[in-house]
């Protein structure tokens, strides 16, 4: 396959970026999208040009690093996958593919396609945990959890913090991410102690980071590689409202 | 922990949406009442029932209180909505060069701000033409004479532009007849919709109502945290059939009816 790539190049967050066009020849349909970038970068380095900066780590859909906004959609044309799980067979020979970074005020560009998602870390640090004092773990069967709750918590816990929800949302809202992180703990007994402080702190932090507010377009759910449901956003709204009213 | 008092709720991204949802859904309930009342425009009684209904709606203290609450809610909804739209645009200072919104969301859900702005223009024009003129303008009076025994309308008389009366409606019995003099809002409606431009404007705006509520009705419940696998279909079905189809079509039928029956 021969592919024309239009890739966003930007030195740092203070410089203005622009698109650069690259020709990638003899691409195998079995390459992952990131491998195609590796090949391109190898060529660029050989030619003495600057390679394209992009984030990646696990390359198996679990770390959430591989942020790329491909042809108008986060992680490209497929549903329920990350960029590292996208293969060139999803494109056609001769295609022109436009690749941009996640675009949000809260995710400043570090370089080219790599953006700074530490806003998510700060939201997690604000309350996305349970404070467990050390000691022996008790027998799991002592804490009974309804299967449905366990399943819902598990589904929410599948969030890998990739930020595709923010990238997809026309408002750059982080509600799907925050709702997943609030839900996974609100649904379980271990999360009860800090339940109210948690949701208030995390929403406060989310707002401080400059994410937009949710208008329920559902774009996040549709683009989430882990198919996190917007039901979690409704749960976040309930959790936040009841915490604000009763606390 | 910062700002944990109750009122700070409404400055948070979740609370802003609660304001939008409560005001928006309240306006939705009003629309049902409004469309049901306006069906009296189709009654073949030269507007008598409609005019009586208009008097009731503007004099009954309970209904008046609700109306002022409604006006407040519309203003709050519009201002908050426009602010949310601006804040949300600011959350993405650099736009995508290539954006495929249709791949993941519905058009209506992405254009609530534009649809809402059309509705705001509509509400201002509509309130001026009917509410303001009825209350402060020169809405004429009409005399309706009905036969008491049969209830048949036997005479309708225009009271002329110079006629004035302290109240909006007076009823008198004399002999076998009942006389009603009432402010004739019906006539204002009829005059307004003789003009094609106005008819087109109204019909287009009802299209905006349709799209706004196709997304908005269901969305309001989600914003309040009401999302359950059991009821989601119910919310969306009501949103689609009642608020995006039946109500806008019924409203749009009114100008069309007057335009084609003049
Ligand atoms: C016929 C009158 C109107 C009705 C019945 C109505 C109803 C609604 C409803 C139910 C929602 C959903 C709320 C939510 O998702 O929480 C909504 C959202 C919205 N409305 Fe309206 N609305 C009306 C007029 C307006 C006007 C005049 C404006 C502004 C100029 C406006 C702007 C908006 C915006 C921007 C949203 C999206 C806000 C968000 O989702 O956060 N609406 N409307
Ligand atoms: S909710 Fe989905 S899209 Fe958003 S950060 Fe988590 S995994 Fe990524
Ligand atoms: S590189 Fe880890 S999810 Fe793609």
Predicted confidence (pLDDT) at residue A156 exceeds the cutoff of 60:
yes
For residue B80, tell me if it sits in a domain: yes
Cβ–Cβ < 8 Å for B176, B149: yes
Cα–Cα nearest to B48, from B192, B152, B193, B166:
B152
Give the whole-number percent of chain A exceeding pLDDT 70.
100
- What span, in angstroms and rounded, lies between the C-alpha atoms of B45 and B153? 7
Architecture of domain A118-246: Orthogonal Bundle (1.10)
pLDDT band at B1 (very low <50, low <70, confident <90, very high): very low
Phi-psi group of B120: left, alpha or beta (phi > 0 → left; psi -120 to 50 → alpha; rest → beta): alpha
Q: Which residues of A touch B96 (CB under 8 A)?
A: 69, 72, 100, 103
Within an 8 Å CB–CB cutoff, is residue A174 touching chain B? Answer: no
| CATH class of this structure's domain A3-111 | alpha beta
Q: Which residues does a 6 A CB cutoff place in the pocket of ligand 2?
A: A 64, 159-165, 176-177, 180, 224-226, 228
pLDDT digits (tens, 9 = 90+) for B193-204: 999 999 999 999
pLDDT digits (tens, 9 = 90+) for B79-110: 999 999 999 999 999 999 999 999 999 999 99
The residue of A20, A152, A179, A213 whose CB has the most chain B CBs within 10 angstroms, and thus the best one to mutate to test that interface, is A213
- Give the CA angle between residues B222, B223, B229 to the nearest 5°: 15
pLDDT digits (tens, 9 = 90+) for B204-226: 999 999 999 999 999 999 999 99
Q: What is the mean pLDDT of chain A?
A: 96
pLDDT digits (tens, 9 = 90+) for A48-96: 999 999 999 999 999 999 999 999 999 999 999 999 999 999 999 999 9
For residue B71, tell me if it sits in a domain: yes
Residues B127 and B145 grouped into a single domain: no
CA distance B207 to chain A (A): 19
Report the half-sphere exposure of B4 (CA within 13 A, side-chain side): 13
What residue numbers bound the domain in which B156 lies?
A: 140-183
For residue B50, tell me if it sits in a domain: yes
Report the half-sphere exposure of B85 (CA within 13 A, side-chain side): 15
Domain count of chain B? Answer: 2
- Buried b or exposed e, range B225-235, using 16+ CB within 10 angstroms: bbbeeeebeeb
Over range A29-45, report the average pLDDT: 98
Q: Select from B150, B183, B216 the last residue of a domain.
A: B183
pLDDT digits (tens, 9 = 90+) for B6-27: 788 899 999 999 999 999 999 9
Smallest Cβ–Cβ distance between A172 and the set B91, B104, B225 belongs to: B91
Burial class of A158 by CB neighbour count within 10 A (0 to 12, 13 to 18, 19+): middle
pLDDT digits (tens, 9 = 90+) for B133-176: 999 988 999 999 999 999 999 999 999 988 988 899 999 999 99
For residue B207, tell me if it sits in a domain: yes
Q: What are phi and psi of B170, to 5 degrees?
A: -130, 140
Over range B45-52, report the average pLDDT: 96
**What local confidence, expressed as pLDDT, does residue B248 receive?**
98
Cβ–Cβ < 8 Å for B9, B1: no
- What span, in angstroms and rounded, lies between the C-alpha atoms of A235 and A230? 9
Other beta carbons within 10 Å of A133:
4
Cα–Cα nearest to A151, from A190, A193, A187:
A187
For residue B98, tell me if it sits in a domain: no
Cβ–Cβ < 8 Å for B116, B123: no
**Start-end of H helices in chain A:** 33-46, 118-127, 147-157, 164-168, 175-186, 195-208, 219-223, 231-246
Q: How many residues does chain B have?
A: 262
State whether A216 and B109 contact (CB < 8 Å): yes
For residue B199, tell me if it sits in a domain: yes
- Here the tokens at position A91 are 């494109």
Ligand 2 mean position to A100 CA, how many Å? 18
Residues B89 and B67 grouped into a single domain: yes
Residues B162 and B252 grouped into a single domain: no
For residue B206, tell me if it sits in a domain: yes
Residues B167 and B215 grouped into a single domain: no
Residues B132 and B213 grouped into a single domain: yes
- What span, in angstroms and rounded, lies between the C-alpha atoms of B12 and B22? 15
Smallest Cβ–Cβ distance between A172 and the set B92, B109, B110 belongs to: B92
**What local confidence, expressed as pLDDT, does residue B2 receive?**
45
Residues B192 and B171 grouped into a single domain: no
Ligand closest to CA A165: 2
- Any idea which residue has 């008598």 for tokens? B48
Q: Which residues does a 6 A CB cutoff place in the pocket of ligand 1?
A: A 215-216; B 17, 20-21, 24-25, 27-28, 31, 77-78, 81-82, 84-85, 112-113, 116-117, 119-120, 123, 209, 212-213, 216-217, 219-220, 223
Q: What are phi and psi of B42, to 5 degrees?
A: -85, -5
Q: Which residues of B touch A127 (CB under 8 A)?
A: none
**What local confidence, expressed as pLDDT, does residue B4 receive?**
58
For residue B115, tell me if it sits in a domain: yes
Residues B211 and B83 grouped into a single domain: yes
Cβ–Cβ < 8 Å for B222, A234: yes
- The full set of domain ranges for chain A reads 3-111, 118-246
């Amino acid at each position: 396959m021969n592919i024309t790539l239009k890739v966003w190049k930007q030195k740092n967050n203070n410089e203005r970026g622009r698109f650069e066009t690259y020709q990638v020849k003899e691409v195998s349909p079995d390459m992952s999208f990131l491998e195609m970038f590796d090949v391109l970068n190898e060529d660029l380095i050989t030619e003495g040009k600057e390679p394209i900066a992009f984030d990646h780590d696990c390359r198996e859909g679990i770390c959430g690093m591989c942020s790329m906004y491909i042809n108008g959609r986060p992680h490209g044309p497929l549903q329920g996958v990350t960029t590292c799980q996208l293969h060139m067979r999803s494109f056609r020979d001769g295609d022109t593919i436009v690749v941009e970074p996640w675009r949000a005020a809260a995710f400043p560009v570090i370089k080219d396609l790599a953006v700074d998602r530490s806003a998510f870390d700060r939201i997690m640090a604000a309350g996305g945990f349970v404070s467990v004092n050390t000691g022996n773990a008790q027998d799991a069967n002592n804490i009974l959890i309804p299967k449905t709750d366990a399943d819902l918590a598990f589904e929410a816990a599948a969030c890998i913090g990739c930020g595709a929800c923010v990238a997809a949302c026309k408002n750059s809202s982080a509600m799907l991410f925050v709702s997943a992180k609030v839900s996974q703990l609100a649904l379980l007994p271990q999360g009860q102690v800090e339940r109210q402080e948690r949701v208030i702190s995390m929403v406060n932090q989310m707002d401080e980071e400059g994410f937009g507010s949710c208008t329920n377009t559902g774009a996040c759910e549709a683009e989430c590689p882990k198919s996190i449901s917007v039901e979690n956003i409704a749960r976040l709204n309930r959790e936040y409202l009841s915490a604000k009213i009763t606390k | 922990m910062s700002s944990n008092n109750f009122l700070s709720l409404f400055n948070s991204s979740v609370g802003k949406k609660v304001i939008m949802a409560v005001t928006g859904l309240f306006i939705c309930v009003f629309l049902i009442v409004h469309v049901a009342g306006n069906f009296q425009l189709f009654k073949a009684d030269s507007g008598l029932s409609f005019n009586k209904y208009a008097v009731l709606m503007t004099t009954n203290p309970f209904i008046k209180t609700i109306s002022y609450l409604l006006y407040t809610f519309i203003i709050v909804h519009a201002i908050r909505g426009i602010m949310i739209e601006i804040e949300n645009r600011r959350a993405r200072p650099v736009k995508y060069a290539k954006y495929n919104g249709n791949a993941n969301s519905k058009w209506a859900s992405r254009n609530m701000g534009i649809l809402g702005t059309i509705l705001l223009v509509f509400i201002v024009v509509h309130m001026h033409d009917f509410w303001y003129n009825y209350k402060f303008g020169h809405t004429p009076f009409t005399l309706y004479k009905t036969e008491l025994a049969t209830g048949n309308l036997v005479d309708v008389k225009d009271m002329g532009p110079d006629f004035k009366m302290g109240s909006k409606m007076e009823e008198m019995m004399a002999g076998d007849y009942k006389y009603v003099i009432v402010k004739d809002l019906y006539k204002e409606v009829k005059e307004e919709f003789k003009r094609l431009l106005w008819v087109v404007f109204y019909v287009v705006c009802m299209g905006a109502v349709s799209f706004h509520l196709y997304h908005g009705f269901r969305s309001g419940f989600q914003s309040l945290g009401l999302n359950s696998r059991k009821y989601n279909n119910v919310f969306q079905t009501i949103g689609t059939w009642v608020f995006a189809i039946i109500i806008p079509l019924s409203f749009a039928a009114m100008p069309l009816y007057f335009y084609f029956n003049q």
